[in-house]
Chain A
Amino acid sequence: MTGARPTRWVVAVPMAALALATIYPLVFTANVAMKTRREYTLDRFSPTGSLRWDNIVKAWTSVGMSRYFLNSVVVVACSVALLLLLGSMAGFALGRLRFRGSSALFLGILAALFVPFQVIMVPLARIMADTGLVDTYPGLVLAYVAQFLPFTIFLLASYYSTVPPEIIDAARIDGNTTYGVYRRIMLPIGAPALVSVGVLNALFCWNDVLISLLVMPSAEHRTLMVGVTSLRGQYSDDIPTFASGVLIAAIPVLVVYLFLQRQIADGVTAGSTKG
């Protein structure tokens, strides 16, 4: 574009610098996690000579990150499973089956998409308290499902609306009921969209702190992100241990990102192209 090769290089240098600035903070954190407190005080930048796992082990065991980690894994797994189940059922019904009131329902769900959690959190906390769901795993799972379901339905409905109707007709002629079509045709055919939405929802739930703080106040039920925030106060004079806790919370996301980057991007951009 614009022909001039030098212009491209003029742009490329700051872009490369920005790329470094994007990666460096995490590299810095990993480096700090390997240092002793003394090394950190003396020199923050230089790479550690040896890979020292003491701080990571300490953060994992005595600080309690393993407990928080397990809490998060359980809650995220249950939330994503439930989101995909309810989302695919509703997405199939709204995207592919036309019935009376289906477009009005879809609009209602879209409207819910634009109600941020902050706007409903006070009454939701009260509903949770009244129903005894505060500080329980089902309570947090339900809160996550409610939060991310509209988005899940929106994406799955638009995916299912692209499935050719002939496939459904053929399955019906073979004797399938609507439920059969859902189970035998729609679930397998929707696999790519389910993976994409599932990964995205897993990230949303894993990364959340506000909903978790509100619904799971007690210490032993903390999810990993709330655990990280509690480290800040406790270990303000032991930065390497603090950095280790941060690293433990970031590594699963990094791994998921390395393997499923395309699916994540697909999920993020799906809404923009549908308009």
Chain B
Amino acid sequence: MAQSSPSLTAKTAGVPPAPPRRKRAGSRAERLAPLVLVAPAVLVIVVMRLWPLLLGINFSFTGDGDRDGTAVGFDNYLTLFDDPLFRTALRNVGLLVLLLPVAVAIPGLLATFIYLKVPGHRVYRGVYFFPAVLSPVIVGAIFTLLLAYDGPLNTLLGGVGIGPVDWLGDPDVAIFAVVGVHVWATFGMALVVFLAGFATLDPSLLDAAEVDGASLSQTIRHVIVPGLSRTIQFVLVTTMIGMLTSMFGLLYVMTSGGPEGSTYLPEYYIWTQQGQMNRPALASAASTALFLIMLVVGLAQIGVLRRATGKEDR
């Protein structure tokens, strides 16, 4: 192969000793080829993802309306933290963080059972994963029907003597209803990731645990959790990101942030300030706050998990 290449070059070049000028020109095109291949993608990402990030941070320090374009220092951030709606949104973020362990434990446990081959384990993965591919809009639309005050769920609960609950109309209940629907719709995603993690687990460890007569909870604590620390870390971070950035469709369809603004999340707040209230600078401040929240929560989780599992990754 290697020997045939000079003759091939010579043949295609036409002139027996390949002209050096042409060769250099060709190699320059070759040297630039990788750059040419990445250039369009880099251009799109820089112009439409990274540049807007800087623009937005800068934008959050300018004013809205009459003060459009003038520097206002931290005014937007002060307005933001004075706004009861944004404070509710932050409180709801706190709630999500508290609910996070549950949202991760459910798919984790289910994946464990599937991995341990409970009866019917072949079917569950495909069924549980399905809602995760549906749009939040479709999921939300379906659940507005199911959770309506005169809807099926209340009819069902009424049948066993539990009074009707105003799932989406009671300010104390609505956020839990929406988060519950979000967990219903997305636990399959985490489940599939967990199962992929289990596939990398050394089966002999589980056999050893069984031989030693370990109980299920002992096996989970001492074999599965340490063995899957990286997967758990991945699921925690992605579930948190999902809760903070992919509930817009549900909120938009199910509650529009109500009742009484009780189901606001930062992403919904950004949308209303930008789209409805025409206050883009304030919305930018909320965007920057959301970005910081995600950084802090993400890093804190990784830190906590590292200490909990006593393992250094990477």
Asked if A25 is at the interface (CB within 8 A of a chain B CB), the reply is: yes
Q: Does B230 contact A275, Cβ atoms closer than 8 Å?
A: yes
For B287, the chain A residues whose CB sits under 8 A away are 118-122
Instruction: Contacts A121-B274, A122-B59, A225-B137 given; indicate if A177 touches B30 (C-beta within 8 A).
Output: yes
Asked if A195 is at the interface (CB within 8 A of a chain B CB), the reply is: no
Residues of chain B at the chain A interface (Cβ within 8 Å): 1-2, 4-5, 8-9, 12, 26, 29-30, 33-35, 37-38, 40-42, 44-45, 47-53, 55-56, 59, 110, 113, 116-120, 123-124, 126-131, 133-139, 141-146, 151-152, 155, 184, 188-189, 192-193, 195-197, 200, 206, 210, 214-216, 219, 230-231, 234-235, 241, 244-245, 248-249, 252-253, 266-267, 270-271, 274-275, 280, 283-284, 287-288, 290-291, 294, 313-314
Interface centre among A21, A87, A109, A268 (most CB of B within 10 A): A268
Q: Does A119 contact B142, Cβ atoms closer than 8 Å?
A: no
For A108, the chain B residues whose CB sits under 8 A away are 42, 45, 50
Q: Does B49 contact A150, Cβ atoms closer than 8 Å?
A: yes
Asked if A259 is at the interface (CB within 8 A of a chain B CB), the reply is: no
Contact of B129 among A177, A203, A265 (CB under 8 A): A265
Shortest CB-to-CB span from A263 to chain B, Å, is 11
- In the complex, the chain A residue whose C-beta lies closest to that of B110 is A15
- In the complex, the chain A residue whose C-beta lies closest to that of B42 is A105
For A246, the chain B residues whose CB sits under 8 A away are 138, 141-142
Contact of A272 among B123, B197, B210 (CB under 8 A): B197
Q: Does B118 contact A8, Cβ atoms closer than 8 Å?
A: yes
Which chain A residues in 206-231 approach chain B with CB under 8 Å? Answer: 206-210, 213-214, 225, 228-229, 231
Asked if A167 is at the interface (CB within 8 A of a chain B CB), the reply is: no
Asked if A250 is at the interface (CB within 8 A of a chain B CB), the reply is: yes
Docked CA distance A271–B117 (Å): 25
Q: Can you offer 24 A-B residue contacts whose CB atoms are under 8 A?
A: A15-B124, A23-B127, A25-B139, A29-B145, A45-B155, A86-B41, A89-B37, A93-B34, A94-B38, A99-B35, A108-B45, A116-B290, A119-B287, A145-B44, A149-B41, A175-B12, A207-B133, A208-B135, A209-B248, A209-B249, A239-B145, A249-B135, A249-B137, A253-B135
Q: Does A122 contact B37, Cβ atoms closer than 8 Å?
A: no
For B51, the chain A residues whose CB sits under 8 A away are 123
Q: Does A89 contact B274, Cβ atoms closer than 8 Å?
A: no
Docked CA distance A246–B135 (Å): 10
Shortest CB-to-CB span from B233 to chain A, Å, is 9
Residues of chain A at the chain B interface (Cβ within 8 Å): 1-3, 7-9, 11-12, 15-16, 18-19, 21-23, 25-26, 28-29, 32, 44-45, 86-87, 89-90, 92-94, 97, 99, 102, 105, 108-109, 111-112, 114-127, 142-143, 145-147, 149-150, 153, 170, 173-175, 177-179, 182, 203, 206-210, 213-214, 225, 228-229, 231-232, 239, 242-243, 246, 249-250, 253-254, 256-257, 261, 264-265, 268-269, 271-273, 275
Q: Does B130 contact A23, Cβ atoms closer than 8 Å?
A: yes
Docked CA distance A217–B313 (Å): 45
Docked CA distance A142–B49 (Å): 11
For A145, the chain B residues whose CB sits under 8 A away are 44
For A90, the chain B residues whose CB sits under 8 A away are 37-38, 40-42
For B131, the chain A residues whose CB sits under 8 A away are 22
Q: Does A122 contact B280, Cβ atoms closer than 8 Å?
A: yes
For B144, the chain A residues whose CB sits under 8 A away are 232
- The A contact surface, by secondary structure, is helix
Docked CA distance A213–B214 (Å): 53
Q: Does B142 contact A118, Cβ atoms closer than 8 Å?
A: no
A-B Cβ contacts below 8 A, count: 287
Q: Does B142 contact A9, Cβ atoms closer than 8 Å?
A: no
For B1, the chain A residues whose CB sits under 8 A away are 170, 173
Shortest CB-to-CB span from A117 to chain B, Å, is 7
Q: Does A209 contact B29, Cβ atoms closer than 8 Å?
A: no
Docked CA distance A131–B116 (Å): 56
For A28, the chain B residues whose CB sits under 8 A away are 142, 145-146, 152
Docked CA distance A212–B275 (Å): 13
Interface centre among B35, B113, B116, B138 (most CB of A within 10 A): B138
Q: Does A1 contact B216, Cβ atoms closer than 8 Å?
A: yes
Shortest CB-to-CB span from B273 to chain A, Å, is 8
Shortest CB-to-CB span from B128 to chain A, Å, is 6
For A206, the chain B residues whose CB sits under 8 A away are 135
Shortest CB-to-CB span from A63 to chain B, Å, is 14
Contact of A268 among B137, B143, B193, B216 (CB under 8 A): B193
For A114, the chain B residues whose CB sits under 8 A away are 294
Instruction: Contacts A8-B118, A19-B128, A253-B134 given; indicate if A272 touches B234 (C-beta within 8 A).
Output: yes
Q: Does B49 contact A120, Cβ atoms closer than 8 Å?
A: yes
Q: Does B137 contact A229, Cβ atoms closer than 8 Å?
A: yes
Shortest CB-to-CB span from A275 to chain B, Å, is 6
Docked CA distance A146–B274 (Å): 20
